[in-house]
């Protein structure tokens, strides 16, 4: 059955009727819940990539943001790049990715933001050349995971430095029990996450998704 761009898979679980979209279905099938609230999806999303799934993700972001004027898709290396490429193809626009740089000698031709990773416990400067972001640009920002939101905040800061308009932010997997999603939505941005994980249990492997409108 096709509904609103999703292949809906329904099943009964613990007496409850649950509907999943294509991504949630794949996460349940191939995602691995690790201790420390880490979801491993490296067999299809951020190490080995399922290209048919990437195409579907690209189409789904087009469906959700297609009514907006988008001149460029922006992401951050490394895992965002593959996904953002498929989104950019759907919109027929270029994709630009922020590079992580350890260098402190960054020249004035770059927009720079500092991004702290709670997961990796390190800090990176992320940079985008001033050649590739302009005040006329309308950006769709894409990334694979949203946890604490540091990467997205860095991208937002770079977009603001360039004077570009942020039309929206698209995330493949949001960890809804971490603060990033709430912070970004509270800033007033249009944030769409294809799957929002509200809880995970490493012992049982159970993943609980947040119900979303339009599914």
Contact positions vs ligand G4P (CB under 6 A): 38-41, 46, 78-80, 117-120, 144-151, 175, 180
User: Closest separation between CB of residue 42 and ligand G4P, Å?
Assistant: 7
What is the nearest approach in angstroms of ligand G4P to the Cβ of residue 184?
A: 9
Q: How far apart are CA 128 and CA 76, in angstroms?
A: 10
Q: What residues are paired with 129 via a beta bridge?
A: 110
Least distance CB 123 / ligand G4P (angstroms): 10
| Spatial distance between the Cα atoms of 115 and 100, rounded to a whole number of angstroms | 9
- Identity of the residue, 8 or 32, whose beta carbon is nearer to ligand G4P in the bound complex: 32
SS3 70: coil
**In the complex with ligand G4P, which residue's Cβ is closer, 41 or 158?**
41
To ligand G4P, the closest distance from the beta carbon of 43 in angstroms equals 11
Residue with tokens 């004027």: 69
Q: Where are the alpha helices (DSSP H) in 75-170?
A: 79-91, 150-162
Strand partners, 196: 174
Specify the residue, 23 or 39, whose C-beta has the smaller distance to ligand G4P: 39
Bridge partner list, 73: 95, 140
Q: Which is nearer to ligand G4P, 13 or 120 (CB)?
A: 120
């Amino acid at each position: 059955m096709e509904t609103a761009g999703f292949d809906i898979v329904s099943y009964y679980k613990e007496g409850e009727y649950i509907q999943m979209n294509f991504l949630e279905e794949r996460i349940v099938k191939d995602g691995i819940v690790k201790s420390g609230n880490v979801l491993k999806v490296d067999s299809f999303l951020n190490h080995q990539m399922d290209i048919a799934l990437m195409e579907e993700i690209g189409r789904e972001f087009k469906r959700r943001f297609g009514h907006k004027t988008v001149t460029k898709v922006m992401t951050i290396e490394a895992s965002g790049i593959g996904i953002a490429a498929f989104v950019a193809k759907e919109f027929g626009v270029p994709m630009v990715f922020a590079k992580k740089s350890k260098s402190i000698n960054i020249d004035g031709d770059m927009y720079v933001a500092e991004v702290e990773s709670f997961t990796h416990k390190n800090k990176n400067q992320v940079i985008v050349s001033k050649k590739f972001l302009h005040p006329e640009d309308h950006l769709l920002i894409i990334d694979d995971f949203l946890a604490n939101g540091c990467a997205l905040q860095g991208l937002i800061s770079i977009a603001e430095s360039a004077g570009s308009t942020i039309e929206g932010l698209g995330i493949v997997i949001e960890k809804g029990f971490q603060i990033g999603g709430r912070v970004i939505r509270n800033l007033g941005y249009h944030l769409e996450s294809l799957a929002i994980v509200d809880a995970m249990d490493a012992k049982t492997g159970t993943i609980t998704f947040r119900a979303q409108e339009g599914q």
